[in-house]
Amino acid sequence: MIAKLLKASPSVEASNNNMKRFVSKYAIYVVFVAMCIVMSILSPVFLSVANLLNVATQMASVGLLALGVTIIIITRGIDLSSGSVLAVAAVVSASMAQTIDWGMRMYPNMPELPIIVPILAALAVGAVCGYINGALIAYTRLPPFIATLGMMIVARGAALLYSDGRPISSLTSSYQWIGQGNILGIPVPILIFIALAVLSYILLNYTRFGKYAYAIGGNETAAYVSGINVTKYKILVYTYAGTLAGIAALILSARINSGQPGLGVMYELDAIAAATVGGVSHAGGIGTIQGTIIGTMIMGVLQNGLDLLNISAYWQQIVKGLVIIGAVMFDMKRHRKGH
């Protein structure tokens, strides 16, 4: 009998290992479904189509930042500047999307510009800020934390300086459509987020860009020795994240019909939290776009659920902080086991 038990133990151990791998891989999805079930019980309004679309629309901007942050963290970096880059891109694009309203216009002599102009302006501002981040990190060897912290402060100051500390309003209807329009009943911000999530997934999984990002995060020295241009791809990663911040700026400013220098405050932390909750490892080389999408939705459901339950905004900040700490602790524990 004992011999039979001993003979069966390897299969039991294999079964346990399979269960652990399953939990490690799909726990985030189970948590998301469980949260939705709990919130639907606590608030019947939660599962209404209008509310779910509202959650997704509100999280579209943070989700775009999270997509960029995901790839950065995979390379063992960090980006603290995305919220501020969003702000400066928002005021620049909004200033180029004003209607001909002489009392509200920042620049009375500028004619109403085609919608493509503010769009390109936001993309350019985001890309330039991201490029500077990447160049500082790649060429000067500044720690990503320091380089992006500096950019966070500079970009926020630039947004205040450009707008003179005031909101830029009276935006064209075509610009507002980016944040307020819908196609077949689906809000445009959600469609933009889905499109860029698909693009990010393809880049990360089926291109040299993504393969090199994982290689750099896994072991930068080995990546360099194997012939990867680490400098070039670090810059590309940060530039891509900056461009996504520019697109997030378009969505957010269009939604509220105003480019404000105070936009995006704490958004960088929400984006990092979404990526971390979604399973992106701060040890580098580990993470998925689909995980980040679920992480973004978890943060959105958490915030929306707390709002529906009339939980104080102060308590919401505490809960968010605890969720981030818990996600990082789980990641560290899993990483140690992997080694």
What's the pLDDT score for residue 103? 42
Question: Which range (56-65, 140-149, 243-252, 315-324) has the least confidence?
Answer: 315-324
> What is the rounded CA–CA span in Å between residue 106 and residue 170?
10
- Residue 142 — φ and ψ, nearest 5°? -65, 140
- pLDDT of res. 89: 96
Which pLDDT score, from 0 to 100, does residue 253 have?
94
**Entry pTM:** 0.88
Average pLDDT value for the chain? 87
Residue 167 has pLDDT above 70, yes or no: yes
Structure-block tokens of residue 13: 């151990």
* pLDDT tens per residue, range 296-332: 999 998 888 888 888 888 888 888 788 778 777 776 6
Q: Coil, strand or helix: which one is 22?
A: helix
pLDDT score, position 46: 86
Confidence at residue 104, expressed as pLDDT on a 0 to 100 scale: 47
Strand partners, 98: 171
How is domain 53-330 classified at the architecture level of CATH? Orthogonal Bundle (1.10)
Find out whether 250 and 86 touch, Cβ atoms under 8 Å: no
